[in-house]
């Protein structure tokens, strides 16, 4: 591959990085990491159930769940008066994987060009 192909990959990875930024921000917080881990052990949890497993306030939990929803890491379903949250990371994993694949291609190309 020539330098124009490398440049095209760099443009692509830059866009992928921007597309993944909400995921990175959501995953950077330890509280949100804890919520994700809770949801890996349970199919669904509502705010009260998450609150039982956390030292955070109800409003703080709701704030963190909102960020996780915005990053498309969790989904919510209303059942009666309660909203239940479920882990939904498949799309995010695909997006992050594509970013890593493009990054690996750039590293390989730059290694080849350096040799």
Cα–Cα distances in Å, from 65 out to 2, 41, 45?
Answer: 45, 16, 11
Q: What is the pLDDT of residue 110?
A: 83
Query: The pTM is what?
Result: 0.83
Assign a CATH topology to domain 3-107. Arc Repressor Mutant, subunit A (1.10.10)
For the chain, give every domain's residue range.
3-107
Give residue-wise pLDDT tens across range 20-60. Answer: 999 999 999 999 999 999 999 999 999 999 999 988 899 99
Q: What is the pLDDT of residue 11?
A: 93
Give residue-wise pLDDT tens across range 76-93. Answer: 999 999 999 999 999 999
Helices 58-70 and 3-27, packing angle to 10 deg: 160
Give residue-wise pLDDT tens across range 51-63. Answer: 999 888 999 999 9
Q: What is the pLDDT of residue 65?
A: 97
């Amino acid at each position: 591959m020539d330098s124009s192909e490398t440049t095209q990959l760099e443009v692509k990875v830059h866009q992928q990085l921007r597309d993944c930024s909400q995921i990175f921000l959501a995953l950077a917080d330890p509280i949100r990491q804890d919520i994700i881990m809770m949801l890996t052990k349970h199919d669904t949890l509502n705010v009260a159930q998450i609150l039982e497993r956390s030292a955070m306030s109800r409003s703080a939990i709701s704030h963190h769940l909102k960020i996780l929803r915005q990053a498309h890491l969790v989904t919510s379903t209303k059942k009666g008066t309660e909203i239940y949250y479920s882990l939904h990371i498949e799309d995010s994993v695909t997006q992050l994987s594509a970013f890593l694949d493009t990054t690996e291609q750039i590293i390989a190309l730059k290694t080849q060009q350096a040799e």
